[in-house]
Amino acid sequence: MLTVAYQGESGAFSEQAGRAYFGARARLVPMESFKDVFEFATGHPSGFGVVPLENSVFGSVHQNYDLLLKHKLHIVGEVKLRIQLHLMAMPGVPMKAIRSIYSHPQALGQCEDFLRLQKNVSAVAYYDTAGAAKMVREEGRKNAAAIASARAAATYGLSILRRNIESNHRNYTRFIVLSRKSRRLDKAGKISLVFAVKDVAGALFKALAVFALRDINMLKIESRPHVGKPWEYLFYLDIEGSPAEERVLQALNHLDELTTFVRVLGAYPNGKTLI
């Protein structure tokens, strides 16, 4: 059986993404932090990791972009999951009794409009959505609630006080699947890479032009500080295509000539969006 690590407790969205991707053939293992997930996948040749990379409302999970650079792992797949967030509390606890609401910072940000309307209630950041639900249950908190998934509410025996409290109901998170082994991709899909350019005029324009000149579609670009090199940046890029395509190989070779550093993070099929 495959072993797949994810950040959080049982009922976390990362667990749902892992289950959606691997199905019943995988054993899902909870980890406390994203770093732990990366280290598990790095240390287990036949193991996998599942982490969120970006949310359609709240943006990128920058820590995981940085961890991609630090670990020699490959992105081998992706899952796009609809995120539905619910407010839950101990059974029998009314909404008027709630004084603190716990959840992951991303979830709190995605529920900003709802939280702003709550009077005399504090929003408290917690390491995980499902972990917040578990804490409320285990501590028997009668004046606290958690924001998490319906599965987390069922797992920990909590009652849902308010459903779908996310500010934008077209709220999706893209999760990536990590492995020590790369994936062979013959058909067109998605390629993720990271590169750095020289500090000269037009360097980034020229780097991106290697794709435009070959009609290769760019899906996303993300800049991150280059640690140890103040005011210099790394650029994370997603493009359409397959390493088996000649034009893609030419573009990557051309990019290598124009940059100071380039690394392909993975080639994988476009993930389906799960409602």
Q: Which residues of 86-124 are buried (b: 16+ CB within 10 A; e: fewer)?
A: bbbbbeebeeeebeebbbbebbbbbbeebbeebeebebe
**Does residue 259 carry a catalytic annotation?**
no
Superfamily of domain 86-162 in CATH is Periplasmic binding protein-like II (3.40.190.10)
Domain residue spans of the chain: 2-83+171-179, 86-162, 189-274
CATH topology for 189-274? Alpha-Beta Plaits (3.30.70)
The predicted model gives 122-135 an average pLDDT of 97
**258 phi, psi to nearest 5 deg:** -100, -10
Q: Which of 129, 155, 173, 259 is catalytic?
A: 173
- 2-83+171-179 and 86-162 agree in CATH topology: yes
**Does residue 273 carry a catalytic annotation?**
no
The predicted model gives 75-104 an average pLDDT of 97
Q: Which of 22, 40, 58, 175 is catalytic?
A: 175
Question: pLDDT band for position 228 (50/70/90)?
Answer: confident
CA distance 179 to 38: 9
Report the candidate in 85, 87, 221, 92 with the shortest Cα–Cα distance to residue 162. Answer: 87
CATH topology for 2-83+171-179? D-Maltodextrin-Binding Protein; domain 2 (3.40.190)
Q: What is the pLDDT of residues 145-169, one digit of tens each?
A: 999 999 999 999 999 999 999 999 9
Per-residue CA distances from 134 to 49, 90, 146, 165, 264 (Å) = 22, 11, 9, 19, 38
Report the candidate in 46, 53, 44, 1 with the shortest Cα–Cα distance to residue 22. Answer: 1
